[in-house]
Copies of this chain bind each other. A is one copy, B any other.
Amino acid sequence: MKDFERVGIVGLGLIGGSIAKTIKKRNKEIKVYGFSRRRTTLTKAKRQNIIDLYFLNFEKLLRSSEFLILCTPIDKIEYYFREIKKSNKKIIVTDVASVKEEIVKKGEEILGKKFPFIGSHPMTGSEKAGLDASSENLFEGKNVIITPTKYSEKDILKKIENFWEFLGSKTFLLSPSQHDKFVSLTSHLPHLIVFQFLKVISEKNGKLKNCIGTGFIDTTRIGKSNIEMWAEIFSLNRENILKAIEKFQKEIEKTKKFIEKGEKSKIIKEFEKGKKWREKIE
């Protein structure tokens, strides 16, 4: 990756920390600059040589970097768009938020349509959060969706693709709205379902914990994720999520009738295709 020699990362949590660690693992020559609202995170990252330098002033970070990755909580991204705008520096920017339509819209509104900002969404993560959970292997073999618009310049896009590939990921392009539709099904709906399921079960008799098996543990692991972040995602991508929920509700209602009547062959038929689809994935 020869596009950037100085990468600025805003937010050194799971994703930001993992990006820093992976850059350093793959090419020690690239300078990684950190910015975070928590000074303790910055000093820890510096002490552990995850970053080369940290800045307490965002303007200085901007001036020192060639490429900026916003890895903050989603509701802070708009703030940084405004700070970038204020600085007047034309810097290549991406973010890692799980919703893209609203973020890209905000980016265009604040920075202008021709500003070299293109959104990204790495399809990787963990139910754990923070710098301590970050890893130099988080992106290895994982997909990253990049969401250019008609205003995005090809060479900027190419640089952002190269960057994620340099971290070990495969990149795919989708429009912001297509991205949000797809992830409402592949990621947002399953998180919602698992959170909701855990809500239901947590209200029951404690003895039921003895009846927890292997499948339960894997299935509900994502239920340990950051709820604040997810409430934000559900709100930002609400139209798609509501559609996904409604489709899911309709199907559950249908299956319930098969169960009521003990129609085993209909239950099997209902679930067969999904099982086969899943088997092809992994």
Taking Cβ atoms with an 8 Å cutoff, the residues of A that contact B are: 123-127, 142-143, 145, 172, 174, 179, 182-183, 185-187, 189-205, 207-225, 227-228, 230-232, 234-235, 238, 241-242, 244-249, 251-253, 255-256, 259-260, 262, 264-265, 267-268, 270-279, 281-282
Contacts and interface: CB of A to CB of B under 8 A. Distances in A.
12 contacts: A125-B213, A172-B210, A182-B205, A186-B216, A187-B215, A192-B252, A198-B275, A227-B268, A228-B264, A238-B262, A242-B256, A249-B253
Given A215-B222, A281-B217, A267 B234 contact: yes
B199 A273 contact: yes
Given A125-B213, A143-B212, A275-B198, A262 B281 contact: no
Nearest to A210: B172
Ordered nearest first, which 10 A-B pairs have the shortest CB separation?
A: A198-B274, A202-B277, A123-B213, A199-B274, A231-B267, A195-B271, A215-B222, A182-B211, A231-B264, A182-B208
B213 A187 contact: yes
A230 to B, nearest CB: 7
- Chain A interface mostly helix, strand, loop or mixed? helix
A268 B123 contact: no
A209 to B, nearest CB: 7
Nearest to A248: B200
Contact of A235 (B192, B200, B267, B273): B267
A145 to B, nearest CB: 6
Nearest to A209: B281
Contact of A271 (B220, B227, B262, B274): B227
Contacts of A224: 275, 278-279
